[in-house]
C-alpha cells in the first residue's frame, strides 16, 4: 500500500491519530512511566487497516505528530508518508499482532514502568485488593509468558493472556506491561492505572497480609465503573 | 431547588467556593496524591445547604471554576447552574452524606494516594509515632469499614469513624483516604499530611521497631498546634 | 530593640539575608523535603545579634524577602520591620537557641523530610556506609533527644548533640532533622544531603548487610572534602 | 599545552563538546540522579587528547558551555581557555584515567543516584532479570573495588572492571555508579538506565524470588539491541 491509496477521509483520520499518539506520549512522561526513549504508544486508524506508532530511539522532546509512523497491520511502514524515513518502534510487530487479532482494540501501550516490571520479574500477578483496581481491571492483573523480540511471540503472548480477560493490562514475564484499550487514550489510562496498582499493592504487602475483596464486590465495582463512570464514556475515547 | 432560588449573597459565595475547589485540585496534583482523573475535592457553600464538587472523569488540566458542579446536600445537581450538564464525581453521595451529618465540616477530599491506600489494603491504622502526626491528627489515623458505591455506606462509614475523633482523615478499608476540614483547603491539607504520615511511618517501620510517643506528649502537641499554629488560624480557611 | 536601632550597614546585611532565606526555601521544595507550609530556613545577620526566619503557616508560593521575619537572638520579632505583623515560625525558639549557643553557626534548617523522619521514628543514627556521607558529615548522622515545643528543650537537644560533632545534621527523635551551617545555604545543603543519605542507606539496608567504611578512610574523605572541594569554599557561603 | 596550540578544527570540536556536556547535565537533573552540585559528565574531544568536564561545586542552574572546563588526558586544565579559572570536578582524575586507558570511550558520567548507591553500599552486583537490562547492559551490572580520591585507584578500578565487560556501568563499592559510552550522551543514557535497573530489580527482589533469564536469551537481546535499535545508531552519538 502506498500513501496515494488513502482517501481524504482516511487521511483526516490518520492526522487525528498522529496528533493523539504524539500527545499521549507526554502522559507517559508526566506519570513517570518511561525513561530516555523507552516506551511506546500506538493508535488504530478508524476505518482502515492502519495504525500509528512512535519511531524507535527518538527523544520524548521530539515527538511531533509528523514524526509518528504510519504502519499497516503487518507492521510495515507505509512508504511516502510523514516519518516513513525512520524506523518504527522495535515493538511494532507486537502492536501489529494485537491489532490483527483483537479487532476491538483501538490503542496499545508498552512501558517499563518500575513497579509493574518488578511484579513481572517475579512472574507474579497483582492481586485485586484495592477498589481502584476492581474498578479499572475487574480483578488481578495477569502475567504473560516470557518472550523475546524476533517473531510473533510477544504479540501472541499478549493476545492469549488478555483475550476474554477483564484486565486491559498484562505483565510480560521479566519484561514489563503492555496495555490495550478502545483508543490510544484508553490504553494510556490503563498503563497509568496499572503502575499505580502495582505500586500501591507492592507497598501494602511489604508491611503485612492484605485483606482480600470478595469476588461479588469486585464484580459489582467493575460493572458499575465500566458502565457509569465518566461523562457518557467520552473519557475513554 | 433551581438556580433562580439563589440570592445574590449565595451566588457570590458559590463563585468563591467554585474558585477554591477548582484551584485546590491543583494541590492534589502538586503533591502526587492523584493520577489521571482520580480524586476529588468539595467545599460547602457558607450560608446555604449546598456544596461544590468536581465533575466525574474530567482531566485535571480542564478543572476551571465554571466546570465545578453545584449540588444540594442530597447530592442532586442544581439544574441550570454552570457545569450542571455534566455528571458530578461518582463519590458525590459520600460527600453529601458527610455534609448532611457533620455540620461543622466545610470541605471533603478523597484520593487514592499510594501509601494511605497501602495501609487501607491491610486494614491497619497508622500509629502516631511522629510529632508532625500528633500536631495534625492528635493520634492514630483510623480505618473505616469496607463499603462500596451504591448506597450511603461509604458516607456513613466516614461519619461513624470520624465523629468525635481528633483525626480529620479516615482510611476506608481496601479503598483509600477521605479527609474533612473546616474548609476545602483544610481538608486538602489533611489529605496531604495524611499521605505524608502514611509514607513516613511505613518507611520507618520497614527497618525496625518504632518508638512510641507518650499520650500526654501527643495531647500537648495536638492542643498547641490546633490553637496556636499559623497566622491566627487563617491558614485553615 | 527597634528597627531604628539598625545602622545602614546592618540594614543592608538584613536585606541580603532576607533575600537568601526567601530564595532558599525554594530549594526545600525542589528537593521534596517539605509539604504544605512545613519546614523552615533561617540565616544569621552578619555583624548583628539578629537572624531572619520564615513566617508560620505561610505557603511556599508566598515567600518573598519582605515576608521574612527579623528576630533577635531570644527569638523576639523586631517591631516595625517588614513582616513583623506576622508570627514567626513555631520553631523560632529552637533556631534562636542555636544562634545564641553556637556562634559559628550562620544558618539553621528544619524539615520533616521522609527518610530522615523514618530514622528519627526509630531513634536510630544513620551509619556512614557511603562515601558521600563521609565527605559531607564525616561519620554517622546522630539522633537527638525527644523534645517538644514549649521551652528550650529542642534547641538544647540540637546544640548538645552537634557541639563538637562533625555532622551538621541531627535527627531529633520522633520528630525530624535539624541542620546547621556556616550560612543559610550551607545548612540547606546539609538538609538536602541528610535526606539523600537517609534514603540511600535505608534502601541499601532493606536488601542485606552493609559494608562498613574503615574509620581512617572516613577521616581522609571528610578532611579532603572540607578543605578542597568546590571553588575556594565559596560554595558554602 | 596552551589554548593557542588548538587548531580551528579542534576549537570547533571543543565548542561542540562544551555545549553537549553542559546540556547533558540537565538530563541528570531530569531523571533525579543528582542533588545539589553532585554528579558530573565529561566528553572526549574527537581528534584531540582532550576532554571537557564540569567545574567543581557549581550549581546545576549555572552550567553554561563556557563554564565547562577543558582538560588534557592527565586531567590538567588547559590554561587560557574558558572556565580555566575554576577548579574542575573533584572526580577529574578518574575521568582522565578512563580516557587514557580506554581509547574507545567518548564520555564518562558519575552520579550518586539512590538505588545504584544502595547496591554499591552492599557491594552486590545487580542481577540481569529484566529484558531492558539485557538490552542495555548484556548481563549483570558489576561492582568495582573500594577506592578513595587521591590517586589513580578510582580510575583504575573503573577500567579494570569494565574492560572487556559488556556493561557500560560499574558500581564502585560504598561509592556509586560510573558509566562510560561512545559519547557523553551514551554515557548519560547508561547512567539513566543503570539507576532504572537498580531501582526495578531492588523493588522486585523485596517481594520474593526473581526469575532468571537464560543466558542465551540475554545474549540474543543484547546483540539485537546493540546492532538494530534506534535510528542507524545515531541515538548513541
In this prediction, residue B150 carries a pLDDT of 76
Q: Are B80 and B100 in contact (CB under 8 A)?
A: no
Q: What is the mean pLDDT of residues D115-138?
A: 98
B145 confidence band (pLDDT: 50, 70, 90): very high
Q: Give the pLDDT confidence of A65-108 residue by residue, as tens digits.
A: 999 999 999 999 999 999 999 999 999 999 999 999 999 999 99
Q: Smallest CA–CA separation between D78 and chain A, in Å?
A: 33
Q: Are C133 and C225 in contact (CB under 8 A)?
A: no
Residue of chain A minimizing CA distance to D220:
A148
Q: Give the pLDDT confidence of B102-130 residue by residue, as tens digits.
A: 999 999 999 999 999 999 999 999 999 99
Domain segments of chain D as ranges? 3-227
Close Cβ partners of B135 (under 8 Å, ≥ 6 residues apart): B221, B222, B224, B225, B229
Q: Give the pLDDT confidence of B26-65 residue by residue, as tens digits.
A: 999 999 999 999 999 999 999 999 999 999 999 999 999 9
Neighbours of C143 (CB within 10 A): 20
Q: Are strands A50-53 and A69-72 parallel, antiparallel or unpaired?
A: antiparallel
Q: At CA B234, angle to CA B228 and CA C2, rounded to 5?
A: 65
Contacts of B201 in chain C (CB under 8 A): 118, 121
Residue matched to cell numbers 581557555:
D81
In this prediction, residue A115 carries a pLDDT of 98
d(CA D32, CA A32): 11
Contacts of B197 in chain C (CB under 8 A): none
Contacts of D203 in chain A (CB under 8 A): 114-115, 118, 202
Does A120 contact D132 at a Cβ distance shorter than 8 Å?
no
Q: Smallest CA–CA separation between D232 and chain A, in Å?
A: 9
d(CA D36, CA B90): 43
d(CA C112, CA C195): 10
Nearest to B196 among C35, C86, C124 (CB): C35
Residues in D 186-205 with any Cβ partner in A closer than 8 A:
189, 192-193, 196, 199-201, 203-204
Contacts of A206 in chain B (CB under 8 A): 118, 202, 206
Query: CA separation (Å) from B121 to A188, A209, B67, B133, B199?
Result: 25, 9, 33, 21, 14
Q: Smallest CA–CA separation between C112 and chain B, in Å?
A: 8
d(CA A38, CA D94): 30
Query: Is residue C154's pLDDT more than 90?
Result: yes
Does C200 contact D121 at a Cβ distance shorter than 8 Å?
yes
Q: What is the mean pLDDT of residues C189-213?
A: 98
Residue of chain C minimizing CA distance to D83:
C231
Does C124 contact B193 at a Cβ distance shorter than 8 Å?
no
In three-state form (DSSP H/G/I as H, E/B as E, the rest C), the secondary structure along chain A is CCHHHCCHHHHHHHHHHHHHHHHHHHHHHHCCCCCCCCCEEEEECCCCCEEEECECCCCHHHCCHHHCEEEECCCCECCCCCCCCCCECCCHHHHHHHHHHCCCCCEEEECCCHHHHHHHHHCCCECCCCHHHHHHHCCCECEECCCCECECHHHHHHHHHHCCCCCCEEEECCCEEEEEECCHHHHHHHHHHHHHHHHHHHHHHHCCCCCCCCHHHHHHHHHHHHHHCCCCCHHHC
Q: Smallest CA–CA separation between D233 and chain C, in Å?
A: 35
Contacts of C229 in chain D (CB under 8 A): 56-57, 90
Question: How much is the pTM?
Answer: 0.96
Q: Give the pLDDT confidence of B176-208 residue by residue, as tens digits.
A: 999 999 999 999 999 999 999 999 999 999 999
Residue matched to cell numbers 549557643:
C101
What's the ipTM? 0.94
Q: Are strands D107-110 and A50-53 parallel, antiparallel or unpaired?
A: unpaired
Classified as helix, coil or strand, B55 is: strand
Query: Is residue A229's pLDDT more than 90?
Result: no
Instruction: Please provide residue C211's backbone torsions phi and psi, each rounded to the nearest 5 degrees.
Output: -90, 120
Q: Smallest CA–CA separation between B205 and chain C, in Å?
A: 8
Query: Is residue D235's pLDDT more than 90?
Result: no
Query: Is residue B235's pLDDT more than 80?
Result: no
Grid coordinates of B212: 512510641
Q: What is the mean pLDDT of residues C157-170?
A: 97
Contacts of D228 in chain A (CB under 8 A): 90
Q: What is the crossing angle of helices A114-122 and A184-206, to 10°? A: 70
Q: Smallest CA–CA separation between B87 and chain A, in Å?
A: 6
Query: Is residue A233's pLDDT more than 60?
Result: no
Q: Smallest CA–CA separation between C175 and chain D, in Å?
A: 24
Q: Are C102 and C31 in contact (CB under 8 A)?
A: no
Does C124 contact B207 at a Cβ distance shorter than 8 Å?
yes
Q: Which residue in C118, C178, C208 has the most chain B C-beta atoms within 10 A of its own C-beta, making it the best mutation to test that interface? A: C118
Please, where are the H alpha helices in chain D?
8-30, 92-101, 114-122, 131-137, 153-162, 184-206, 215-228
Q: What is the mean pLDDT of residues D109-117?
A: 98
Q: Smallest CA–CA separation between C228 and chain D, in Å?
A: 9
Query: Is residue B237's pLDDT more than 90?
Result: no
Residue of chain C minimizing CA distance to B236:
C57
In this prediction, residue D148 carries a pLDDT of 84
Query: Which residues are registered as beta bridge partners of C181?
Result: C107
Mean pLDDT of chain A: 94
Helix-, strand-, coil-residue percentages of chain B, each rounded to 5: 45, 15, 40
In this prediction, residue D20 carries a pLDDT of 98
Neighbours of A22 (CB within 10 A): 20
Does B205 contact A207 at a Cβ distance shorter than 8 Å?
yes
Q: Give the pLDDT confidence of C120-131 residue by residue, as tens digits.
A: 999 999 999 999
Residue closest to B40 by CA, chosen among B78, B3, B117, B93: B93
Residue of chain B minimizing CA distance to A132:
B175
Contacts of A173 in chain D (CB under 8 A): 211
d(CA B53, CA B43): 7
Nearest to D231 among A86, A112, A124 (CB): A86
Q: At CA B189, angle to CA B184 and CA B190, rounded to 5?
A: 95
Residues in D 203-232 with any Cβ partner in C closer than 8 A:
205-206
Close Cβ partners of A233 (under 8 Å, ≥ 6 residues apart): none
Q: Give the pLDDT confidence of C2-23 residue by residue, as tens digits.
A: 555 789 999 999 999 999 999 9
Does D210 contact A121 at a Cβ distance shorter than 8 Å?
yes
Neighbours of C236 (CB within 10 A): 18
Please tell me which chains touch C, using 3 or more CB pairs under 8 Å as the contact test: B, D
Q: Give the pLDDT confidence of A107-141 residue by residue, as tens digits.
A: 999 999 999 999 999 999 999 999 999 999 999 99
In this prediction, residue A113 carries a pLDDT of 98
Look at the domain A3-227 and name its fold.
L-fuculose-1-phosphate Aldolase (3.40.225)
Q: Give the pLDDT confidence of A42-56 residue by residue, as tens digits.
A: 999 999 999 999 999
Interface A-B, measured as beta-carbon pairs within 8 A, has a size of: 93
Residues in D 92-131 with any Cβ partner in A closer than 8 A:
129-131
List b or e across B8-34, with b for residues whose CB sees 16 or more CB atoms inside 10 angstroms. eeeeebbeebbbbbbbbbebbeebbbb
Burial class for D62, CB neighbours closer than 10 Å (0-12, 13-18, 19+) = exposed
Nearest to A204 among B86, B121, B146 (CB): B121
Q: Are B83 and A166 in contact (CB under 8 A)?
A: no
Q: What is the crossing angle of helices C114-122 and B184-206, to 10°? A: 60
In this prediction, residue B6 carries a pLDDT of 86
Query: Is residue C64's pLDDT more than 80?
Result: yes
B226 confidence band (pLDDT: 50, 70, 90): confident
% residues pLDDT > 90 (chain D): 89
d(CA B175, CA A131): 5
Neighbours of B148 (CB within 10 A): 18
Mean pLDDT of chain C: 94
Amino acid at each position: 500500500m502506498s500513501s496515494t491509496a488513502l482517501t481524504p477521509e482516511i487521511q483526516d483520520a490518520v492526522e487525528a491519530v498522529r496528533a493523539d499518539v504524539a500527545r499521549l506520549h507526554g502522559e507517559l512522561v508526566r506519570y513517570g512511566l518511561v525513561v530516555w526513549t523507552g516506551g511506546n504508544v500506538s493508535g488504530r486508524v478508524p476505518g482502515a487497516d492502519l495504525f500509528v506508532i512512535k519511531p524507535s530511539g527518538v527523544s520524548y522532546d521530539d515527538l511531533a505528530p509528523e514524526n509518528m509512523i504510519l504502519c499497516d497491520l503487518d507492521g510495515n511502514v507505509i512508504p511516502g508518508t510523514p516519518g516513513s524515513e525512520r524506523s518504527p518502534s522495535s515493538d511494532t510487530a507486537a502492536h501489529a499482532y494485537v491489532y490483527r487479532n483483537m479487532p476491538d482494540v483501538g490503542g496499545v501501550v508498552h512501558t517499563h514502568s518500575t513497579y509493574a516490571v518488578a511484579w513481572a520479574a517475579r512472574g507474579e500477578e497483582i492481586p485485586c485488593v484495592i477498589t481502584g483496581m476492581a474498578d479499572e481491571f475487574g480483578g488481578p492483573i495477569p502475567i504473560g509468558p516470557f518472550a523475546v523480540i524476533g517473531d510473533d511471540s510477544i504479540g501472541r503472548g499478549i493476545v492469549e493472556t488478555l483475550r476474554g480477560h477483564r484486565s486491559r493490562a498484562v505483565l510480560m514475564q521479566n519484561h514489563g506491561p503492555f496495555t490495550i484499550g478502545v483508543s490510544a487514550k484508553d490504553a494510556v489510562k490503563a498503563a497509568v492505572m496499572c503502575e499505580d496498582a502495582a505500586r500501591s499493592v507492592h507497598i501494602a504487602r511489604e508491611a503485612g497480609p492484605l485483606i482480600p475483596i470478595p469476588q461479588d464486590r469486585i464484580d459489582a465495582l467493575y460493572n458499575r465503573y465500566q458502565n457509569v463512570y465518566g461523562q457518557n464514556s467520552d473519557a475513554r475515547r
